[in-house]
A and B are shown apart, each in its own frame.
Chain A
Amino acid sequence: MTVQTSARESYRPPYQVTNSAETIMRFPFPFPEDIYMYSMNVEPHIRSGPVAAMRNTFDIDEHYVAECAEKARILQEDPKRCIVLPHMREAEWDFVELAMTTLSDQYPQHFSLRREGLDWHWVNRLLGYEQSFVFGDAGTLPLPPFEYMARQMQGDFTLHDQREDDLWMDGGMVTAQADWSLKFDLGMSFRQWHAPVPKAAEMGVFDRGLRFLLMLQHEKPVRRLNWTMTINPRLDTSPENFMVWGADRASVTPENVADKVHLRVELQTLYRLPRSNAILFSIRCYLMPVRDIMRVGKWRKRLHRVLRDLDPALSSYKGLDLYRQTVVDFLAPYDDGAPLSNGIQPDAEQPENVLAPAA
């Protein structure tokens, strides 16, 4: 994957984010079927999958530099987006190790790590960082270990202590969230932080999900896709800033729908951490405008069907009610109703041009 080394993009007004053909084709489109409902959609996070975004431990793409810059800006504006409770110190180092070893191993052109006992040397060529430090000695890093590393990665991360047969929201860095708040959910149990979600608890999804995660093993990570929609390419759709971005939901028209409305997909991966026995939850967010989704035949037809038939409780929880019909009406002429293959993989090698390019 080609990574731009300077951040020309903007994830806030005036918005400026574009996706290359490669980024479109590697997008983790979240719908394996024409109908969507919550389910226990968890599978092993192995280094293969239907699209390229799923084939790395932590996925780095062309938006890396711009996303890290936006994350730094959000943390500057609101330091409470990064909180780690004191008993998670060991998990912080587990995270540093997992991130540095896998990134340097899978992207040697961008990252390198030299280890001599506890003396480590980290190089991040994309952001221009170089750091010698003693593994396990927080005083040798410029920031607390979790914060130091999470700032150098796309997406959000949370750390979960495991006790009393439950998982606890005991730390994280959350700057690109779909309308939930780390400072509010801090210290909650698995069922508590999921309380606002409709239907899933009654369906047994959370009971099964929790039972499964409690048994998660080191070096056997798992993954799932979650999705919502976002108006404009905005990473920070936090409740903290809802008064800033919420009104965008009322701005969709038949004329601007293809460019304004984005499918927001979270590639969620979960890891058991070896020393602390904590769980790391990684939420890698992908924003794809309807205009780009249109360029894959299977995806535009399936998005039309899923949105048209979406359960009203899910539509309302995800905040789609004001513009879902506008999107469905826009997509309908491009769906011939032909059967589509199961799974999320695209049905072509290259994106096609269906719409005239954005003005």
Chain B
Amino acid sequence: MIVSSQLPFAPLVLDASGVRHLYVRDEAACPLPEGCGAATPEVWTVVSDATAMADTGEGEVLLRSATALLERLAGRLARERVGLRLYAAGGASFLARVAIVADAAGLGTGEVQFAPPRDVARRVVCVHCDTLNEGVAADTVRCLGCGTTLFVREHYSRGLGAYMGVGEPEILLQAMEAAARHG
């Protein structure tokens, strides 16, 4: 059994128990949930383009940025009633932010699905100074807030939408290196 505090990622499958379906993604390349056809989800896609207009008729809704999509999602979820199923696909950071919006709106565990992230760029919060570091692909990152080299712990907070980053004092790093060398 793999135990982790990270989001419950799984391939998206349309949930027949839902009445309405909303699919959000941070890139058009993300495939539709499996089972689309029986029911068609509404699709919102980030296009990263300042000329995109969100309300052009039917079909796909195009949003200028992830932030724009998430703001719109928060407004939408505030007006929703039971029966909505939310599906999200994209990068790890985008999915983390979707989870925060969905949790704030009170969506339950069975009402949201997260596709396995299409990149490994995680959000890392500095436990020393609370600064959120975006897009961290490596196991370490220099904190934007306090300059500490943070080591990313395998501990994810759904509430913060981030992994925990903790520094290592220089003396400790050297001692551990020396211990590893001498076996």
A binding-site residues for B, Cβ under 8 Å: 164, 181, 183-188, 191-196, 201-202, 206, 239-243, 246-247, 249-250, 321-322
Contact of B127 among A184, A193, A195, A322 (CB under 8 A): A184
CA separation between A201 and B158, bound complex, in Å? 20
Interface-lining segment among B1-9, B35-43, B85-93, B114-122: B1-9
CB neighbours (8 Å) of B156 from chain A are 192, 195
Verify B158–A321 contact, CB threshold 8 A.
no
Q: B154 within 8 Å of A by Cβ?
A: yes
CB neighbours (8 Å) of B159 from chain A are 186-188
For the complex, count residues of B whose C-beta is within 8 A of A.
30
- Closest A residue to B109 by CB, please name it: A164
CA separation between A323 and B175, bound complex, in Å? 10
Shortest distance from the beta carbon of A329 to any chain B beta carbon, whole Å: 15
Q: Which of B154, B155, B171 has the most C-beta atoms of chain A within 10 angstroms of its own C-beta?
A: B155
- Closest A residue to B175 by CB, please name it: A250
Shortest distance from the beta carbon of A176 to any chain B beta carbon, whole Å: 17
CB neighbours (8 Å) of B109 from chain A are 164
Known: A164-B109, A247-B169. 12 other contacts (CB 8 A): A181-B127, A184-B127, A184-B157, A186-B157, A188-B158, A195-B154, A239-B166, A240-B127, A243-B167, A243-B169, A249-B172, A250-B174
Within 8 A of A (CB), among B166-183: 166-172, 174-176, 179
CA separation between A322 and B174, bound complex, in Å? 11
Classify the interface of chain B: helix, strand, loop or mixed.
mixed
- Closest A residue to B169 by CB, please name it: A247
Verify B128–A240 contact, CB threshold 8 A.
yes
- Closest B residue to A185 by CB, please name it: B157
Q: B164 within 8 Å of A by Cβ?
A: yes
Verify B157–A246 contact, CB threshold 8 A.
no
Shortest distance from the beta carbon of B129 to any chain A beta carbon, whole Å: 9
Shortest distance from the beta carbon of B91 to any chain A beta carbon, whole Å: 22
- Can you sample 24 A-B contacts with CB below 8 Å? A164-B109, A181-B127, A186-B159, A187-B157, A188-B5, A188-B157, A192-B156, A195-B5, A195-B155, A196-B155, A201-B3, A239-B127, A243-B128, A243-B148, A246-B167, A246-B168, A247-B169, A247-B171, A249-B175, A250-B171, A250-B174, A250-B175, A321-B179, A322-B176
7 shortest interchain CB distances as A-B pairs: A192-B5, A195-B5, A201-B3, A247-B169, A187-B159, A250-B175, A247-B171
- Closest A residue to B159 by CB, please name it: A187
CB neighbours (8 Å) of A240 from chain B are 127-128
Shortest distance from the beta carbon of B139 to any chain A beta carbon, whole Å: 15
Contact of B153 among A186, A191, A194, A196 (CB under 8 A): A196
Within 8 A of A (CB), among B136-164: 148, 153-160, 164
CA separation between A193 and B156, bound complex, in Å? 9
CB neighbours (8 Å) of B153 from chain A are 196
Verify B172–A184 contact, CB threshold 8 A.
no
Shortest distance from the beta carbon of A55 to any chain B beta carbon, whole Å: 35
CA separation between A322 and B176, bound complex, in Å? 7
CB neighbours (8 Å) of B166 from chain A are 239, 242
CA separation between A211 and B158, bound complex, in Å? 23
Shortest distance from the beta carbon of B159 to any chain A beta carbon, whole Å: 4
Q: B125 within 8 Å of A by Cβ?
A: yes
- Closest A residue to B163 by CB, please name it: A184
Contact of B164 among A187, A192, A239, A246 (CB under 8 A): A239
Shortest distance from the beta carbon of B148 to any chain A beta carbon, whole Å: 6
CB neighbours (8 Å) of B174 from chain A are 250
CA separation between A239 and B157, bound complex, in Å? 15
- Closest B residue to A186 by CB, please name it: B159
Given contacts A247-B172, A249-B172, contact A322 B3 (CB under 8 A): no
